[in-house]
Structure 1
Amino acid sequence: MGRTLVELFYDVVSPYSWLGFEVLCRYQHIWNIDLRFRPAFLGGIMQATGNKPPAMLPKRAEYMLKDIERMGKYYQVPVTVSADDFQRIFGKSSLGAMRFITATDMTQPKYLEPLSREFWMRFWSQHEDISQLESIVAVAGQAGLSSEFTQKLLDMISSPEVKNRLKETTEEAIKYGAFGMPAVVAHFNGKPHLFFGSDRLELLANVIGEKWLGPVPSVPSSKM
């Protein structure tokens, strides 16, 4: 059988995208899949679909604080969240970061995985800014990008090519039916299958005929 293309549409402002990202990274060499990272803009998806950030509902925000902490431990991803983080999300845009990631995808996609991870680490583990220029430069350095390459990417992020690429990817996610992130699209049996959220990857495995081994497949179960 051929390999199944699995696309992950994500934005680094989404903590649940980080959870799904890490699990799919772990499975990309276990399942018979080709994993394709699709950096998109969550703000654009929310606006186009009329969706609202879940943290805008006080009771749901209260639940998310506990939910993300539990899921971080279960998925073994160092995501932590506080009420202040929700205010940071509302007050800062991830557009610059996502354009920088998009420019990376267009030039040196091999850096896409470590760069995206470092943006999540900075925002959701270290609770630092990712919207300012100096923050983006710091993340690029942590991901192993040279200063010359980083400057090239910074020069690209205001270009029509990068802006259009990010817009087109975001629109593609919406066409698949995405209304939030992460949005995972598996191309199986001649058609796309959309899965929303980081907690639907077990269902993804079932649909594409792969075995689900838990969120951390490299760690053997203690129960036989």
Structure 2
Amino acid sequence: MGRVPSILKLLYDVLCLYSWLGFEVLCRYQHLWNTSCKGSVNVTCFLTAVSMEQPEMLGKVSRELWMHVWSRDENITESQNILAAAEKAGTFTVEAQHFLEKISTEQVKNKLRETTEAASRHRAFGLPTTVAHVDGKTYMSSCGSDRIELLANLLGDKWMGPVPPTLNARL
């Protein structure tokens, strides 16, 4: 019987390049390490609304927002660019517009406050921050995308660089 998966929560901002690097590395390792992974006020509220209603789309929409800001040099604080990124990620236009309309609601603002307070309780001091739930205990394991090897040690797994060999073979 395999070990129970550890749960990682990545606290990030899509305007932070280092958050993107940390996000991509954790996505590459989640199957190797037996983990699951789970922002600019308007864009952060938009991602909060996505997370609340379609959490399975959060990673895809976040990745597209990073691509728009860091690869295409687009201003993702503008509504049309937020919508374009969400649609490119696979969200229907009507859904993306719905999420955009929700960014100013108290429900979304309260959820974002809860998330920010949780980050504070975990003593997050930089982005990205990884909170690991391992064997029933919670650890604020690292701040920064250059500390992933410390996360591997906490999980009892091997760090093989930013592109693990199994993924490298597929690229």
Q: Aligned residue for 1:115?
A: 61
TM-score, length of structure 2 as denominator length = 0.91
SS of corresponding position for 1:102: helix
Q: Aligned residue for 1:162?
A: 108
Confirm whether residue 209 of structure 1 aligns to residue 144 of structure 2.
no
Matches within 5 A, 1:1-224: 1-36=3-38, 41=39, 94-194=40-140, 195-217=142-164, 218-219=167-168
Q: Distance in 2 between matches of 1:216 and 1:5?
A: 21
Gaps of 5+ in 1: 42-93
Shift of 1:131: 0.8
Q: Which amino acid aligns with 1:147?
A: T
Q: Aligned residue for 1:79?
A: none
Q: Which amino acid aligns with 2:92?
A: S
Q: Distance in 2 between matches of 1:210 and 1:216?
A: 15
Shift of 1:141: 1.6
8 A contact 2:6–2:135 mirrored in 1: no
Shift of 1:34: 2.1
Sequence identity (%)? 49
Q: Aligned residue for 1:63?
A: none
Instruction: Tell me which structure has the larger Cα radius of gyration.
Output: 1
TM-score, length of structure 1 as denominator length = 0.70
Q: Which amino acid aligns with 1:5?
A: I
Shift of 1:192: 2.1
Gaps of 5+ in 2: none
Q: Distance in 2 between matches of 1:188 and 1:145?
A: 32
